[in-house]
Chain A
Amino acid sequence: MAGSDRKFSLGGLLLRLGGFALLALGGVLTLAPFYLMFVFATHQRSEIFGFPPPLWFGEHFWTNYQILLDKIPFWRAYWNNLYLALMTTLTSLFLCSLAGYGFAMYEFRGRERLFGVVLATLLIPAILNLIPFYLLIYQIGWINQPKALWVPAMAGALGIFLMRQYILSAVPKELVDAARIDGCSEFQIYWRIVLPLVRPALGTLGLITFIGSWNRFADVNVIMRTQETKTLPVVLRTLQGATDVEWGAIMAGTALLVAPLLLVFALAARQLMEGLTSGAVKS
């Protein structure tokens, strides 16, 4: 931008070239581990740690895939992952937009203070809740039950914050008032007027929630104790034994774990990045 409206100069050109070179180097360093993951997924262990290590795709993806199927309930874990991500996303979309609507469009006693509580919970270090959370799940007998993972995550503070911000900017109050005069109940206003208007924000929140749930590890690892109930990241880690670790198979599983998100990200990178920074830039 600032470069193009300047007059041509050798110094400026060199600076730009240097900038491009730097960015290219950074890009290579960022992408190389992903690339090697896919490459290693097609090689056997002996090849991965041979000299030179493989830099191009091999022929052993199906061998690795077969090892995965033999050692872990791979597709069961995949389904568990998908189920957790979908349940969290769907419930979050509903409850976060509903709460965001409540905070954005109503005047009520204690509103600022309650919203302050929502924001404050964002600052609580999540991993420190691990032990207390486990104790509670243990107490109510939800160990090994998927609902132990998605029910507590149904109405996250970040989602409420994002939805409130978006509703404030995208839904005119007059529209809500008009609907009310027409006899809409408060829930009908949310369902028929507000929801259709906030679709872009729902998309962003859906992406953020899906990705976050798809990648969850620490608490899943603690709550899901049997092989059948574990999600993919948890079950992949169990392959990391003491000796004779099948790194080719692990890389194949990792590639299958990462690939869907790469696809989703390729389609919606801009929306996701804008959504994630929207709160940060305003504050």
Chain B
Amino acid sequence: MRKSISTAPPPTSKVSLAMRWSNFQRRYAPYIFISPFFILFLVFGLYPTLFSLYMSFQSWTPSDGWGRWKYVGFENYTFTLTDPMFWRAMWNTVWLGIFSGLPQHLIAIPLAFVIHMVLGRFKTLVMAVYFLPYITSSVAIALIFNTLFATHNGVINLVIAQLNTWPLLGWLLPDQNINWFLNSTIKYGLALVVVWQFTGWNTLLYLSAIQAIPKELYEAAAVDGASRYQQFRYITLPLLRPMMFFAVSLTIIGNMQLFEQPFVLLNGGASSATQGGQTATMYMYRTAFEWLEMGTAASIAWILFIFIGILTYLNNLIFGRAARGEN
């Protein structure tokens, strides 16, 4: 249509002007429509990120006044990388990453399979219940668990005491009240909170992937005499691999950034168990806003950024290819 217009002689100047406008706006409209994202990303995403790279080589605290920073070379980086508190926070992060990450998936995969197998009409309802923690404010969740973790008469300790009277379980559980707010115990509590909060999300991911598996595969297997377990082991699990990769990637990225749960459960860093539970992002936050060392905090952000980048890359390298290749 456009071609015929451009080759035809302009009937009147008014019409051609309108046509030209129409062509012009048609050509540039998409750029205008997508521009807000890019403007916002440049201003609030890319620019500050690059600026923080610059800042990570400066020494600056807000009371110095804007613009009055001092170049210190790699000092912030060497300070951070030789700071035992930073390494403790990194260790906490990695520990939590594993012990709050693995259980989520080990529970979610069989759970999704069971939901798919036993439930018909009530699937959505049950899934909604499991999903509830995911849409709830992390701060609210941490505040609730803060009361549940109370040493004396806290609900969690009472439940453990109750389970302790059962055979078998009693051997595994301590028979005294657990103080959850110690350097040695806080990580377990944090892992429990994170598992509780995000298992439902992973279950939903796996359930949606399981539902996408053609029913005929199971039927054919059943005809061949495959048991329910064999169906799960030889049909569901292999076909879930791409989703496992996706879900595990999300868990890695999310767990390396855990902030709100430890921040609230450790009372913003005022708790005596802070050293045992604070994550790398929480340490970064406190460096910036408690000790007001913006340059050092910027260096921590960049070290973490590179660390997460390497982790994501390794995850891709080791599991990504297998996940895609199998399908």
Q: Using CB atoms and an 8 Å cutoff, list the residues of chain A in contact with chain B.
A: 1-4, 6, 15-16, 19-20, 22-23, 26-27, 29-34, 36-37, 40, 48-53, 95, 98-99, 101-103, 105-106, 108, 111, 114, 117-118, 121, 123-136, 138-139, 151-152, 154-155, 157, 160, 180-181, 185-187, 190, 211, 214-215, 217-218, 222, 233-234, 236-237, 240, 242, 247, 250-251, 254, 257-258, 261-262, 265, 269-270, 272-273, 276-277, 280-281, 283
Give complex CA distance A53, B44 in Å. 47
Q: Is the interface of A mostly helix, strand, loop or mixed?
A: helix
* A57 CB to nearest chain B CB (Å): 16
Q: Which residues of B contact A222 (CB under 8 A)?
A: 285, 289
Residue of A nearest to B142 (CB): A237
Q: Which residues of B contact A214 (CB under 8 A)?
A: 137
Given contacts A102-B33, A138-B66, contact A217 B45 (CB under 8 A): no
By the criterion CB–CB under 8 Å, are A102 and B30 in contact? yes
By the criterion CB–CB under 8 Å, are B40 and A154 in contact? yes
Task: Please provide the 6 A-B residue pairs with the shortest distance between their CB atoms, ordered closest to farther.
Answer: A102-B33, A132-B48, A186-B29, A132-B52, A152-B44, A106-B30
By the criterion CB–CB under 8 Å, are A40 and B196 in contact? no
Report B35-70 residues with CB < 8 Å from chain A CB.
36-38, 40-41, 43-45, 47-49, 51-52, 55, 62, 66
By the criterion CB–CB under 8 Å, are B139 and A237 in contact? yes
By the criterion CB–CB under 8 Å, are B305 and A30 in contact? no
Give complex CA distance A177, B141 in Å. 50
By the criterion CB–CB under 8 Å, are B120 and A1 in contact? yes
List 18 contacting pairs A-B, 8 Å CB cutoff, sorted by A: A6-B222, A19-B117, A27-B129, A36-B155, A37-B144, A101-B33, A125-B257, A131-B55, A136-B43, A154-B40, A186-B25, A217-B260, A222-B289, A242-B270, A251-B144, A254-B140, A280-B243, A281-B208
Residue of B nearest to A22 (CB): B114
Q: Which residues of B contact A36 (CB under 8 A)?
A: 144, 147-148, 155
By the criterion CB–CB under 8 Å, are B34 and A114 in contact? yes
By the criterion CB–CB under 8 Å, are B44 and A108 in contact? no
Give complex CA distance A6, B267 in Å. 54
Given contacts A4-B120, A49-B154, A106-B29, contact A262 B38 (CB under 8 A): no
Residue of B nearest to A110 (CB): B31
Known: A123-B253, A215-B136, A277-B204. 16 other contacts (CB 8 A): A1-B116, A23-B114, A27-B130, A131-B288, A134-B289, A135-B52, A151-B40, A152-B44, A155-B37, A185-B22, A240-B264, A242-B267, A254-B144, A261-B136, A277-B208, A280-B208
By the criterion CB–CB under 8 Å, are B147 and A40 in contact? yes
By the criterion CB–CB under 8 Å, are B312 and A186 in contact? no
By the criterion CB–CB under 8 Å, are B204 and A276 in contact? yes
Best-buried of A99, A101, A132, A276 by chain B (most CB within 10 Å): A132
By the criterion CB–CB under 8 Å, are A34 and B132 in contact? yes
Given contacts A1-B215, A218-B259, A269-B124, contact A129 B37 (CB under 8 A): no
Cross-interface CB contact of A98 among B33, B45, B137, B158, cutoff 8 Å:
B33
Give complex CA distance A3, B218 in Å. 11
Give complex CA distance A93, B246 in Å. 27
Residue B200 lies at the interface, judged by CB distance under 8 Å to chain A: yes
Residue B294 lies at the interface, judged by CB distance under 8 Å to chain A: yes
* A211 CB to nearest chain B CB (Å): 5
By the criterion CB–CB under 8 Å, are B25 and A121 in contact? no
Given contacts A30-B130, A95-B36, A133-B44, contact A280 B140 (CB under 8 A): no
